[in-house]
Amino acid sequence: MDFKRLKIPLFILATFLFGIKTYIIYRFMFNMELENKMQEFILIINPFVSAFLIFALSVWFRKQSRQMKFLRYTALIGTLVLYFNLVFYRSFNDFITVPQLFQASNMGDLGSSILTLIEIYDVLLFLDVVIIWYLSKKKPELMTVSYQKSGKVFALAMSFLLLAGNFFLAEMERPQLFTRAFDREYLVKNIGLFNYHVYDAAVHSRATTQRVFADGNELPEITEYVEEEVKRDEKSPLYGIAEDKNVIFITLESIQSFVINNDVNGEEITPFLNSLVGDESTYYFENFYHQTLQGKTSDSEFLVENSLYPLSRGAVFFTHGGNEYNGLSEILGEEGYHSAVFHANNKSFWNRDQMYDSLGVDHFYGEEAYEVNQENSVGWGLKDKPFFEQSIKYLQSMEEPFHSKFITLTNHFPFELSEEDSSIDKYDSSSSTLNNFFPTVRYMDEAVEQFFDQLKEAGLYEDSIIVMMGDHYGISENHDRAMSEYLGKDEVTPYDHVQLQRVPMFIHIPGHEDGKVMSEVTGQIDVKPTLLNMLGVSAENDIQFGNDMFIDDRKGYIGLRNGDFISDDYISTSGVCYDRETGEPVEAEENEDPSAADQSEAENRTGNQPDSPCSPIQQKVEKEMELSDNLIYGDLFRFIESAETEDEQNNE
């Protein structure tokens, strides 16, 4: 056979190589669960469909050099997009969104965190790029094609036909995938990473224009829903208990509730926090869930300040830092509280300098307020013990009553800590991340205990309430195998994964004698109304999607930003409705009317079965998130501010 006469168009070879590589990444590097053979089939074909769609464009270049250049750089850029998503996924178990591209300023602060996510074998992911580069340079005469216009049109038509077929199968497998897309994993699994990015860009463009066309007419629907479905008339038994007291809020970085009253290698992980569980001055919420997504710590701040949901794409702190809000700090400021945030990081990280102004925070003590050196810092910056030590002088200088927030750093991925600072040994498992997690959690626990003592010495303890809350998970799904070892389970199921989203929540009231363990389902969205009531501050006209955690007549569920929820009786995740107590799937009731079942299925975004007991709550969760998103995207609080100003002028 004369191989010189055998012409294999490079765009066909590039499609084949790139498609295989993409499928390998999808199937073996992304932790995507495949529920049936159809999902497996779609996952196999969509990498090749996307690759053919892009590489086939090369046939429209007449010149050989331009055709080869297009293929070279397309393969390189496509591989970089894949690889950046892979590195991001290893940390966050999620895919990059357009808003996060505007958070690039954060990347410079990640340092060693990124390096821990890079593997030596990753270089193999660029092998096809090397092959394409070599062939386009050394064998262009064998790789170039020259089609007539009809051939070019046929290649383009074939591209769109394959794409339409992919989308048709995806819609069959996941009805209303595009109109009700809560889960990025479903999008990537069904239409591919590159089509997902196109879709995400379109969604971002639409969201960006939403503020421009907002006029405040959206507010009545939101306020009506909040009045009917969220607000409660019941008076909290702790209303006003902390009136005129200082508020000291401590964000416990990356801690999860599974470490509380638990041990590793026979050693207590959090002895001090354990001592507060059941303490008569402390309320501990054992079923308290974080509700963050891509914004992580900044999302938790947003939830606490506003009792609104964070966005499903990017971080509100970045994408809408200039909005009008009615934040907790601003409300307390109107009641005479001075507010400050303490965090030994730079002010631009998560765009805090702008966002804190929007929230009404009076002062931010960032890294410039601290003495940071090689001895007292690790990982992301100043270690927690010197952080609290150096913060006391600022806290003592603040006018009382004050509302202060401390954001810790040491227990942050990749959980680095020297042996001299480690009080307990690392865990021994297949995950270095989980192994390193326990010593840094213990260090944070010791730092908090030390801070309590410092508050007493400074004379601030008795006149304050101390709130401690985990901001988000520390151990992602990527470490499920090691987590199952630690928890003594065969595997971490979707139900278990939701339960692992519980984070510690403590409200410590010095001198109080009725503290107890609270078992109600609560979340970060409930913190704002709870604190306002404890401080005796009324915010009747505020828009909040949470309830006071101490009242009995609560709405009875917590929505997670990915569309899952936890209620008093059920947990909904991965399209399955579970009994919250037993963890067993709850069967849907039979419906004799097929049309009603079809409608119920079409209306259900997460795939719960028709007539599932989870469906009514699911619809409420979706509605709340939609209305919360509308408030943020439309910057609707500016119209409330304008209306209030106009009313004041009319009254004058």
- Which residue, 486, 499, 384, 491, is CA-closest to 444? 384
Cα dihedral 116→120→126→128 (10° resolution)? -140
> DSSP state, 33?
P
Range with the poorest average pLDDT among 34-38, 49-53, 249-253, 495-499: 34-38
- Identify the pLDDT of residue 203: 75
Segment 91-108 shows an average pLDDT of: 67
Contacts of residue 380, defined as CB under 8 A and 6 or more positions apart, other chains included, come to 109, 111, 113, 345, 409, 410, 412
Residue positions annotated with a catalytic role: 297
Segment 151-163 shows an average pLDDT of: 84
pTM of the model: 0.79
Sheet order of strands, 570-573 included:
557-559, 565-567, 570-573, 576-579
- pLDDT more than 90, % of the chain: 62
The CA distances from residue 433 to 111, 151, 415, in Å, are 16, 53, 7
Range with the poorest average pLDDT among 208-222, 227-241, 543-557, 570-584: 208-222
- Which residue, 290, 229, 286, 282, is CA-closest to 523? 290
Helices 37-55 and 10-24, axial angle in degrees (round to 10): 140
- Identify the pLDDT of residue 114: 72
Tell me which long-range contacts 545-550 makes (C-beta under 8 A, separation of at least 24): 545/226, 545/230, 545/307, 545/308, 545/309, 545/624, 545/627, 545/628, 546/230, 546/307, 547/230, 547/232, 548/232, 548/234, 548/236, 549/285, 549/518, 549/520, 549/522, 550/236, 550/237, 550/238, 550/283, 550/518
- Identify the pLDDT of residue 409: 93
Residue 356 banded pLDDT, cuts 50, 70, 90:
very high
The one-letter code for the residue type at 329 is: S
Residue 608 banded pLDDT, cuts 50, 70, 90:
low
Calpha distance 573→571 (Å, rounded): 7
Calpha distance 415→437 (Å, rounded): 6
Q: Supply the mean pLDDT for the chain.
A: 88
Cα dihedral 262→268→271→274 (10° resolution)? 20
- Which residue, 340, 322, 321, 320, is CA-closest to 332? 340
- Identify the pLDDT of residue 152: 76
Segment 72-91 shows an average pLDDT of: 91
- Identify the pLDDT of residue 540: 75
Residue pLDDT, tens place only, 190-229: 888 988 888 888 877 777 788 888 888 999 999 999 999 9
CA angle 61, 21, 43 (to 5 degrees): 100
Element (H, E) at 23: helix 10-24
Residue pLDDT, tens place only, 509-549: 999 999 999 999 999 999 999 999 999 998 878 999 999 99
**Residue 369: strand, helix, or coil:** helix
Beta strands in 286-414 (DSSP E): 288-289, 338-342, 363-365, 377-378, 381-382, 402-407
Higher pLDDT, 187 or 551: 551
Residue with tokens 């070019």: 152
The first and second tokens of residue 145, run together, are: 């094609």
In DSSP terms, 363 is beta-bridged to: 340
Residue 606 banded pLDDT, cuts 50, 70, 90:
very low
The one-letter code for the residue type at 340 is: A
How many other C-beta atoms can be found within 10 angstroms of the C-beta atom of residue 462? 11
Residue 325 banded pLDDT, cuts 50, 70, 90:
very high
The CA distances from residue 289 to 74, 134, 302, 506, 586, in Å, are 43, 52, 15, 13, 22
Cα dihedral 311→316→320→325 (10° resolution)? 100
Residue 127, pLDDT above cutoff 70: yes
- Identify the pLDDT of residue 605: 43
Question: Could you give all domains of the chain from N- to C-terminal order, each with its CATH number?
Answer: 10-209 (no CATH), 233-554 (3.40.720.10), 560-652 (3.30.1120.170)
